[in-house]
Amino acid sequence: MPLPAFLTQRHGELHVEDVSLDALARAHGTPLFVYSKAAMLQALGAYQRGLAGRAHLICYAMKANSSLAILQTLVRAGCGLDIVSGGELERALAAGCAPERIIFSGVGKTRAEMRRALAVGIGCFNVESRAELAVLDEVARAAGRRARVSIRVNPDVDARTHPYISTGLKDNKFGIAHDEVIDTYRQAAACESLDVVGIDCHIGSQITQAGPYLDALERVLDLVEAIELTGTRLHHIDFGGGLGIDYHGDTPPAADELWAKLLQRLDVRGFGDRQIMIEPGRSIVGNAGVCLTEVLYQKPGEHKNFLIVDAAMNDLPRPAMYQAYHRIEPVRSRTDTTALTWDVVGPVCESGDWLGRDRELAVQPGDVLAVLSAGAYCMSMASNYNTRGRAAEVLVDGAQATVIRQRETAADQMRLETPLP
Interacting residue ranges for ligand PLP, rule: CB under 6 A:
61, 64, 82, 105, 167, 202, 205, 240-243, 279-283
Could you tell which of ligand LYS, ligand PLP, none binds residue 37, using a CB distance below 5 to 8 A set by kind? Answer: none
Report d(CA 377, CA 386) in Å as an integer.
20
Residue 28 near ligand LYS by CB under 6 A: no
The C-alpha angle with vertex 52 and arms to 48 and 55, in degrees rounded to 5, equals 105
Task: Give least dist CB 402 to ligand LYS, A.
Answer: 25
CB 371, min distance to ligand LYS, A: 13
CB nearer ligand PLP, residue 88 or residue 294 = 88
> Which residue minimizes CB distance to ligand LYS?
377
Residue among 124, 191, 349, 378 flagged as catalytic: 349
| Closer residue to ligand PLP in complex, CB, 331/376 | 376
Check if the beta carbon of residue 16 is closer than 8 Å to that of residue 393: no
Binding status of residue 125 toward ligand LYS by CB under 6 A: no
- Smallest gap from Cβ 39 to ligand PLP, in A, equals 16
> Greatest CA span in the chain, whole angstroms?
73
Binding residue count for ligand LYS, defined by CB under 6 A: 7
Residue 318 interacts with, from ligand PLP, ligand LYS, none (CB under 5-8 Å by kind): ligand LYS
349 a catalytic residue: yes
- CB 299 → ligand PLP: shortest distance, Å? 35
Q: Running DSSP on this structure, what letter comes out for residue 332?
A: B
Of 168-227, binders to ligand LYS (CB under 6 A) are 205-206
How crowded is residue 183: how many other Cβ atoms within 10 Å of its Cβ?
A: 12
CB of 366 to ligand LYS, least distance (A): 30
How far apart CA 419 and CA 421 sit, in angstroms, is: 6
Taken in order 170, 139, 99, 232, is the CA torsion positive or negative? positive
Please report whether residue 152 would count as binding ligand LYS according to CB under 6 A: no
Taking the C-alpha atoms of residue 331 and residue 16, their distance in angstroms, rounded to an integer, is: 10
CB 33 within 8 A of CB 291: yes
DSSP string, 245-295: --SSS--PPPHHHHHHHHHHHHHHTT-TTSEEEE---HHHHGGGEEEEEEE
**Does 350 count as an annotated binding residue?**
yes
User: Applying CB under 6 A, does 37 fall inside the site for ligand LYS?
Assistant: no
Q: CA-CA distance, 335 to 343, in Å (whole number)?
A: 21
Q: Give the one entry of ligand LYS, ligand PLP, none that residue 103 binds, where binding means its C-beta sits below a cut-off of 5 to 8 angstroms depending on kind.
A: none
Q: Which residues pair with 361 in a beta bridge?
A: 340
CB-nearer residue toward ligand LYS: 306 or 322: 322
d(C-alpha 261, C-alpha 271), whole Å: 14
Residue 174 Cβ, how far from ligand LYS at the closest point, in Å?
Answer: 8
**377 in a labelled binding site:** yes
Residue 153 is a binding residue for ligand LYS (CB under 6 A) = no
- Residue 60 is a binding residue for ligand LYS (CB under 6 A): no
- Taking Cα atoms as reference points, which of 321, 322, 323, 385 lies closest to residue 349? 385
Which C-beta is closer to ligand LYS: that of 14 or that of 84? 84
Angstrom distance (rounded) from CA 273 to CA 205: 27
Q: Is the dihedral of CA 190, 192, 195, 201 positive or negative?
A: negative
Compute the residue count for the chain: 421
Specify the amino acid at residue 7: L
Among 165, 207, 263, 355, binds ligand LYS (CB under 6 A): 165
As a whole number of Å, the CA-based R_g of the chain is 23
- Site for ligand LYS, rule CB under 6 A: 63, 165, 205-206, 318, 322, 377
Catalytic residue numbers read 349
Residues belonging to the binding site for substrate are 282, 318, 322, 350, 377
Residues belonging to the binding site for pyridoxal 5'-phosphate are 242, 279-282, 377
